[in-house]
Structure 1
Amino acid sequence: MEAAEEGIRNGQQGSADVSGVGGKSADPGFAAGSGACPGAEAVIDQSNAPAGISFCQQYAEPTTPVLTVGLIRNAFAELKLPAGELVIQPPDGLTLVNFDTNFYTTSTRPIARTVTLLGRRVTLEATPSTFHWSFGDGERLSTSDPGAPYPSLRVTHNYLRKDTYRPSLGTTYTGRYRVDGGPWHQIPGTVTINGTGQALRAIEAEPRLASY
């Protein structure tokens, strides 16, 4: 400490190990003169401090929250996305056994939502990429094809026995995002939304003699 006092008297600045001063275990820095601790708190116990020296307890500046891809991915996963509209042909909840029942969806367009994260304007875009067809009889099929209306039979299923089934559609979305109108970036991972089943009754056709 005598060396520190000598340095101050000679107009020099420096640092010193003061871990034993006043019985404290802290290691604050020191500065000379009154008001020498701007933006910091002076150590209260200065009973052993030489005259003209203030011991300052420094504090780190608070960090600014960073908008991460993880936060954006969580926001994407929490979007209220539709499962997709399931269309079945023949219509009216009725089909035939051993018949090509047609399935398709019209829910194929990207869906955009804008959210605010940490004060930033983030645009999220979800695009249907995979369609999961559950036919209600234990058979399932996943395609990138959304199917199409009759007569373009691209996603079909044959029911082998008469019964009432509940086919359903699930949709997997891929996503991208941009911040404050900037460039688009891909969102890691996907989100899958499963829909509820529709009642569909499969019946056997009865042959009828019309004329002879």
Structure 2
Amino acid sequence: MITVTREDFARLPVEPLVPHAGPEAGWIPVNSPTVLYVEPTDQILDTTLLGTPVQVRAIPVSYTWSMGDGGTITTTKRGKPYPSEEVAYYYETEGWYDITLTTTFAGQFSVNGGPWQDIDGTITIDSTPVPLYSNSLESRLVNPDSTEPPEPIVPDRTPDTEGHPNPRAGHETR
């Protein structure tokens, strides 16, 4: 009898999901919704145990967003692109923040094309952080004949432009 354990599952090359945060421009106004979403897909991994072909399916079941200012959100919702605010966060101060997604995957396995069986336990995979600048917008004079809207000033990332911890930030479960 062949079985796949949580430890076996954890050794497989499950790919991190690609997080989206923003808008895609790389900056967001302070106190505006930072929309978070991911496009989850099951992953099928082929392996061999005791000379028998086995497929393992990694299924995203929850998402933990670490917002870089001390705030975190754990949800089973994948979120949706703007204008949805199904999963959103608000920065209170200006600065650069790294948003990190940790995805929890449940697993199933199929031995030699047989029925799918659950793997006891889950694994977590961290995605590459998404840098985002939270900008305190200021009004400024612009050329009235210009057809292009002025872009906000987004500074280079330096120790002086890093975001600050939010003492009110906590963990939300949605």
TM-score, structure 1 normalization: 0.63
Which residue of structure 1 aligns with residue 128 of structure 2?
196
State the one-letter code of the partner of 2:123: V
* SS across alignment from 1:77: helix
User: Residues of 1 paired with 2:36 and 2:13: CA distance?
Assistant: 24
* Among candidates 90, 103, 107, match of residue 175 of structure 1: 107
Stretches of structure 2 that go unaligned for 5 or more consecutive residues are 145-174
State the one-letter code of the partner of 2:2: L
- The correspondence of residues 49-60 of structure 1 with structure 2, limited to 5 A, is none
* Pairwise CA distance, 1:84: 1.0
State the one-letter code of the partner of 2:38: T
CA RMSD of aligned residues (A): 1.8
Decide which structure has greater strand share: 2
TM-score, structure 2 normalization: 0.76
Decide which structure has greater helix share: 1
Aligned: 1:89 with 2:89: no
User: Residues of 1 paired with 2:49 and 2:86: CA distance?
Assistant: 41
Higher relative contact order (CA 8 A, sep 6+): 2
Q: Tell me which structure has the larger Cα radius of gyration.
A: 1
Spell out, residue by residue over 1:133-169, the C-alpha distance to the aligned partner (whole angstroms, 9 max, x if none).
1111110011110100111111111110111111111
Q: Hey, which bits of structure 1, 4+ residues long, moved more than 6 A?
A: none
Which residue of structure 2 aligns with residue 137 of structure 1?
69
State the one-letter code of the partner of 1:194: D
Spell out, residue by residue over 1:32-79, the C-alpha distance to the aligned partner (whole angstroms, 9 max, x if none).
xxxxxxxxxxxxxxxxxxxxxxxxxxxxxxxxxx53443xx3331111
Identity of aligned residues (%): 36
* SS across alignment from 1:75: helix
